[in-house]
């Protein structure tokens, strides 16, 4: 029952897709700080490699960059092959890579629909499918492997911006989490989702010109999320403490979904 045993993730191996910035970088940092070997992926190779080197040095722990485009089956196959060439097993798969697209209802494009759905939903399913053999390798009743899908409160609430495919994709992520959880729990792989609210990121930053003042004012906690908030939740779900939590979508939003007046009837 000691905290070091309850929440330890030391010696494990994790994959964090979209791990070079934003929430992905926060999650990767939390793992690295606690003794996890981490593979991170992103499309832009130079920035990814630079970030992996920076994080390895900062936390004195191995952070390995694998550049790839996960929106295509070819990119997914290349990524999985690269990991399988280096690892016989993985313990944690964090499906975080995602994209958003904003356009008016009248002009919303097929490109904006397909790009977001392919990366946010389709790639999440096929990555988990293809990593199943590595996830089951060391998984046991006492110490199951974990898959964490990063959704969004935009998949729970009606979003403020016109991001039709994004909010739809995140609602799909939350339900896909339950469906995959039901299938994989039998093989000692626990699948859960996290639905973040506002966190500092390039995606949110571009929508508000990197000025979070108004968002902070409107948040019940009067701030945006921090690295500790998201990393702590991920570590809980991946540790002994979270080993009886299955198929959940946990919000990390400062109280927006549960305490906003339009949600209280």
Instruction: Say yes or no to pLDDT of 143 above 80.
Output: yes
Is residue 170 within 8 Å of residue 120, measured between CB atoms? yes
Is residue 32 within 8 Å of residue 235, measured between CB atoms? no
Q: What percent of the chain has pLDDT over 90?
A: 91
Residue owning tokens 């798969």? 93
- Half-sphere exposure for 166 (CA within 13 Å, toward CB): 22
Q: Please provide the average confidence, as pLDDT, over all residues in the chain.
A: 95
pLDDT tens digits, one per residue of 172-219:
999 999 999 999 999 999 999 999 999 988 777 777 777 889 999 999
Q: Which of 39, 166, 199, 244 is catalytic?
A: 166
Question: What pLDDT score does 212 carry?
Answer: 87
pLDDT tens digits, one per residue of 145-178:
999 999 999 999 999 889 999 999 999 999 999 9
Instruction: Say yes or no to pLDDT of 264 above 70.
Output: no
Question: What pLDDT score does 161 carry?
Answer: 87
Instruction: Say yes or no to pLDDT of 265 above 60.
Output: no
Catalytic site includes residue 244: no
**In the sheet that 189-196 helps form, which strands lie side by side, from edge to edge?**
63-67, 37-42, 13-17, 92-95, 145-150, 189-196, 249-252
Question: What pLDDT score does 211 carry?
Answer: 85
Is residue 252 within 8 Å of residue 223, measured between CB atoms? no
pLDDT tens digits, one per residue of 35-90:
999 999 999 999 999 999 999 999 999 999 999 999 999 999 999 999 999 999 99
CA distance linking residue 259 with residue 256, whole number of Å: 6
CA 54 to chain centre: 20
**CA nearest 150: which of 97, 79, 227?**
97
Domains in the chain: ranges and CATH: 3-263 (3.40.50.720)
Torsion sign over Cα 150, 27, 79, 93: negative
pLDDT tens digits, one per residue of 30-44:
999 999 999 999 999
Query: What confidence tier does 262 reach under pLDDT thresholds 50, 70, 90?
Result: low
Return the ∠ at Cα 195 (arms to 231 and 222), rounded to 5°: 75
């Amino acid at each position: 029952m000691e905290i070091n045993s309850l929440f330890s993730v030391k010696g494990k191996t994790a994959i964090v897709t979209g791990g070079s910035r934003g929430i992905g970088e926060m999650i990767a940092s939390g793992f690295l700080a606690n003794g996890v070997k981490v593979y991170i992926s992103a499309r832009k190779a130079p920035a990814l490699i630079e970030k992996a080197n920076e994080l390895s040095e900062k936390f004195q722990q191995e952070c390995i960059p694998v550049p790839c485009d996960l929106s295509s089956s070819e990119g997914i196959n290349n990524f999985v092959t690269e990991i399988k060439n280096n690892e016989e097993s993985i313990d944690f798969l964090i499906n975080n890579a995602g994209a958003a697209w904003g356009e008016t209802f009248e002009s919303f494009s097929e490109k904006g629909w397909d790009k977001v759905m392919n990366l946010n939903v389709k790639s999440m399913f096929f990555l988990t499918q293809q990593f199943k053999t590595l996830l089951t390798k060391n998984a046991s009743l006492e110490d199951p492997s974990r898959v964490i899908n990063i959704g969004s409160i935009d998949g729970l609430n009606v979003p403020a911006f016109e991001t039709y495919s994004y909010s739809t994709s995140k609602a799909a992520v939350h339900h896909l989490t339950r469906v995959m959880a039901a299938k994989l729990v039998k093989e000692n792989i626990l699948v859960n989702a996290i639905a973040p609210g506002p966190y500092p990121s390039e995606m949110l930053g571009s929508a508000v010109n990197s000025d979070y003042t108004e968002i902070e004012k409107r948040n019940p906690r009067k701030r945006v999320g921090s690295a500790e908030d998201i990393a702590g939740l991920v570590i809980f779900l991946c540790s002994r403490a979270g080993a009886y939590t299955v198929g959940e979508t946990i919000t990390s939003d400062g109280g927006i979904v549960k305490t906003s007046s339009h949600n209280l009837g």
